[in-house]
Amino acid sequence: MKPVVLGAGLGFYGDSIAHVKRSAQNNRLDYLCSDHLGELTLSILQRDRRADPTSGYAKDMVALLLAAWPVTREAGTRFICNGGGLNPRGAAIALRQAMRARGFAARIAFVEGDDVLPHLDVLRRGGESLANTDTGANFSAVPQPFGFANAYLGARPLVQALQMGADIVVTGRVADASLFLAPLVHEFGWDWQDHDRLASGLAVGHLLECSGQVSGGNLSGDWWQLSDLSDIGYPIATVRSTGDAVIGKAPGSGGRVSVDSVRQQLLYEVHDPRAYLSPDVSLDMTSLRLRALGPDQVEVSGAIGGPPPGTLKVVAGYRAGYAVSGMLGYSWPDALRKAQAAADILRQTLAREEAGLEEVHISFPGFNALHGVLADPAQGRDLNECFMRVAVRTADKAQARRVAQHLPWMMVGGPPDVVYIPPSPPRELTAIWPMRIQRAPIESRISVEVLEP
């Protein structure tokens, strides 16, 4: 049985379409799998959907397909993406319209059923606590109605869509790695009880889901020796029917695929390496073996899997007020002292004039914005420049605007040698409420439909 070649698409909403296109060009991919949804992306899509009920999906999904389709048609590449966001049906319809306008023809499937918001009351009456899995807080502590609540589905409905002959599969919230596992199950006919093979596919998906990171992006090692990152090659996995895979990238592209880059991505966003859970299978990452086969070629093998959990992760969100931030920058000498003095002035001003602020955070980019309390004061005594950044959370949008107005006058009424960086308009905040819910009531509502060209 010939190997299946998987290409990494976008790793998040706003990732580089150009890099995906270059990686797909001149490489015969069987599938291109694209992850558009970070946990907070749904809050962005929820604001879009409030403004336009036909929206609520990742717009870069359409742009990606229009860019990649012409260069992958000859290879017969099929696409799987979760760019449907909160509106998979609307996303599929918009994509079909855009492709028709370009003279392209494709069978587009969409998967629905991850939206559990309409069913939360029924689930509670059925015994679900809907408690916050991060904090343990009771559902009654949620201060605002949820704007969205979506379950992380697994690979099964994606496999169904492929079996129905879809060229493109558009989903909503699906576990990231499941996007890559689905084509392997479909092509190799893996059994859903073959946990070791499923775990191998999960490992491959986890390595490819963050696009450029496994190719040297965000590398904590010798990043300065990487080749041209402006032309970084997004990863490509060649997977055998056993589940063993070789991770590489397009020949001649920038970046580097190495044992170091692979194992760093392997542990990215992982709580327990011995039990990496997905809706499809659990993976013991400590069983994996990584072997360099040559430049930009790393073999991944030895996966040991176990049964999936009986629950699905659900992420819900509710409105949490507004945020505004702004900065004042100060130059040498005494840059940090000037920034700290400006912060003191601002704190006193806010204490006098702004009651009811829910949260005020002040940091000093150039000194401690990234290191926080670990920043060494001795290192800050002779900075060439330092900024004072304030971020405020309020329940009221107008109050957020008023806070931003306290910064401009400090150019002439505060410490010297200053530059003012105007704040952006207040932005609405979304608080995330994660839950675990029994999977059977959710999965019973999943549907798959195919739109003809």
pLDDT tens-digit readout, 87-123: 999 999 999 999 999 999 999 999 999 999 999 999 9
Place of tokens 């914005």: 369
- The arithmetic mean of pLDDT across residues 223-240, rounded, is 95
SS3 annotation, 331-379: ECCCHHHHHHHHHHHHHHHHHHHCCCCCEEEEECCCCCCCCHHHCCHHH
17: which 2 tokens? 């379409």
Does residue 26 surpass a pLDDT of 90? Answer: no
Alpha helices by DSSP H, listed for 189-272, are 195-208, 259-266
d(CA 8, CA 255): 15
In the three-class reduction of DSSP (H, G, I as helix; E, B as strand; rest coil), residue 51 is classed as helix
Does residue 354 surpass a pLDDT of 90? Answer: no
Q: CATH 3.30.70 in the chain, residues?
A: 320-432
Mean pLDDT over all residues of the chain? 95
**What share of the chain in percent tops pLDDT 90?**
91
Distances (CA, A) of 60 to 55, 69, 103: 12, 14, 19
Task: Report yes or no on whether pTM surpasses 0.85.
Answer: yes
- The arithmetic mean of pLDDT across residues 368-394, rounded, is 92
Q: How do 418-421 and 311-331 pair as beta strands?
A: antiparallel
In this predicted structure, what is the pLDDT of residue 27? 81
d(CA 52, CA 48): 6
What type of residue is 184?
Answer: L
In this predicted structure, what is the pLDDT of residue 328? 97
Helix/strand/coil percentages in the chain, nearest 5: 35, 25, 40
d(CA 264, CA 119): 39
- The arithmetic mean of pLDDT across residues 339-348, rounded, is 96
Name 108's bridge partners.
168, 451
132: which 2 tokens? 């916050």
Q: 320-432 in CATH: which number?
A: 3.30.70
Does residue 144 surpass a pLDDT of 90? Answer: yes
d(CA 390, CA 371): 16
